[in-house]
Amino acid sequence: MKKITSKIILLLIFLFNTNSIFASGAEGTEHVLPNPFMVLPFAILLLMIATGPLFYHHFWERNYPKVSILLGSITVLYYLIWLNDTHSLLHTAHEYISFIALLSSLFVATGGILIKVDRKATPLLNVIILLFGSVIANIIGTTGASMLLIRPFIKINKDRIKPYHIIFFIFSVSNIGGALTPIGDPPLFLGFLRGIDFFWFFGHIWYVWFPTLIVLLVVFYIVDSFNKEGEKESVNFSNKIEFKGTKNLLYLLIILISVFLDPGILSWVPNFSPLPFGIREIIMFSVVILSYKTADKKILEANEFNFEPIREVAFLFVGIFASMIPALQLIAYEAKVYGQQLTPGIFYWATGILSAFLDNAPTFLNFLSASLGKYAYDVNIKTQVHEFSELYPFYLQAISIAAVFFGAMTYIGNGPNFMVKAISERSGIKMPSFFGYLIKYSVPILLPIFIILYFIVYYGKV
């Protein structure tokens, strides 16, 4: 018990203690640490994202782009004028553009695909869909899998749909599912770009991924078995599965291939540095335009396609990415200061807690940098990152699992969470608020699973 208490104290110090001295950032570049008060715009933005839809819904709906840009701009101006640090801004801009290019291209390409399943909804069929979605999330990303399957999932369950259906969908397909490949979730993609083998994640995570997913789906199956709505209705089902918009599979393939078009992976790929985008992002944005222009209008209409969900993610995350720069730099610094005392368990909780409330991609990168620093490796040197992944896989596994799994804890933990929520609400399903999601679902269902996972895999490990 004493050991756990001391670890919690260390974790809290790690999360909240800050020092304004010279330090090395995630990129290994020397820069002045920001004033801890500069975390305020980020905290305000998170608070408003959490409370806006709940307490001042319509003000928030009308003004969230302005609020997000305003708060992000405060941080940008601070870095430009006070710190004279354009490097951090350009680096963040590049990560944001990569992030939004991947999300938007997957969103639009899958928006032109329609899957119809005419089968009776049963808990077992739902489990199969969630499992299938979790597996394909590793091939077309959690965003792609979510956009592809959320509508058929709602349609199948239309006579018995409840918010828990959507929430388990977010838990599994939109988050935990995508932990096995770099395409699955953006943080793993960043790790891949830094030198971790493509199949490292599968090799080191599957044996945690699989039981976690099974436990989650068993919980879902039990909950869903109590739902008897719609059972009395006598409807004839053809048991047919229809797939429309097959040409968009080609666009998905282009997106997947373009993921690897990075000058850091393939030397012949042109490097546009210092521009904050590359050929990959250009291809992905081209897919956005082409797949929308060439999509079957009937499919778009059936999917009630519109750009609002991705627009919302784009605006909110531009503010999040900009305003969280100080928070991430302070965390990276503290991680280095306390590096020797940090165990895989602490990395698991620190990465997890922050990934639940921040974007998990930069969070992952900073904790990767911190864990590398513990063994005097540099996150900017690919061979060192690769060596670290082979020699100290436990740390990397803890950070990767926490970054992906804990993204399911809140609506803002991962990009697809918001999109799935928006699509469900537009379909007439009343979704829980930010706190409702956290208190009624994440804390009672996910947190115990993550705690058990900690005790089985990371407790007592150094």
Partner 1 sequence: MSTLNDILKNNLHGMYYGNRVLLPVRIDILKAVIENDIITDFSSTKSGASYKIHDDFTEIYFYDYKVLSEVVKGFEKIKLVVVEKGKDIFDFTNHRKIALQVKEKHKITISEINEDTLLFIE
Residues in the site for partner 1, rule: CB under 8 A? 57-58, 61, 116, 151, 154-155, 158, 161, 298, 300-308, 422, 425-430
Residue 202 corresponds to which amino acid? Answer: F
Q: Is the CB of residue 178 less than 8 Å from the CB of residue 141?
A: yes
Return d(Cα 224, Cα 130) in angstroms, integer. 13
> Are 79 and 88 spatial neighbours (Cβ–Cβ below 8 Å)?
yes
**28 neighbors 378 (Cβ within 8 angstroms):** yes
CA–CA dist 18, 28 (Å, integer)? 18
Q: Identify which of 46, 18, 48 has the alpha carbon closest to the alpha carbon of residue 334.
A: 18
Question: Nearest distance from residue 47's CB to partner 1, in Å?
Answer: 20
Please identify, using beta-carbon distances, which residue of 137 and 161 lies nearer to partner 1. Answer: 161
* Nearest residue to 347 (alpha-carbon basis) of 15, 28, 33: 15
Of 99 and 305, nearer to partner 1 (C-beta) is 305
Which has the closest alpha carbon to 362: 379, 342, 377, 382? 379
Query: Is the previous residue joined to 448 through a cis bond, with omega within 30 degrees of 0?
Result: no
Looking at beta carbons only, is 96 or 418 nearer to partner 1?
418
| Minimum distance of partner 1 from residue 237's CB (angstroms) | 13
Torsion angles phi and psi, residue 30, rounded to 5: -70, 130
CB of 457 to partner 1, least distance (A): 38
Nearer to partner 1, 230 or 263 (CB): 230
In angstroms, what is the minimal distance from the CB of 360 to partner 1?
24
If the CB atoms of residues 2 and 240 are measured against partner 1, the closer one turns out to be 240
Shortest Cβ distance from residue 427 to partner 1 (Å)?
Answer: 4
Q: CB within 8 A of 45, min separation 6: which ones?
A: 67, 68, 71, 72, 319, 320, 323
**Rounded CA separation 365/350 (Å):** 13
Tokens standing for 129? Answer: 């869909």
CB of 425 to partner 1, least distance (A): 4
- Return the number of the residue (381 or 431) whose C-beta is nearest partner 1: 431
Q: Which is nearer to partner 1, 238 or 267 (CB)?
A: 238
Query: How many other CB atoms are found less than 10 A from the CB of residue 69?
Result: 14
Output the smallest distance, CB 69 to partner 1, in A. Answer: 19
CB nearer partner 1, residue 190 or residue 423: 423
Task: Write down the least CB distance from residue 426 to partner 1, Å.
Answer: 6
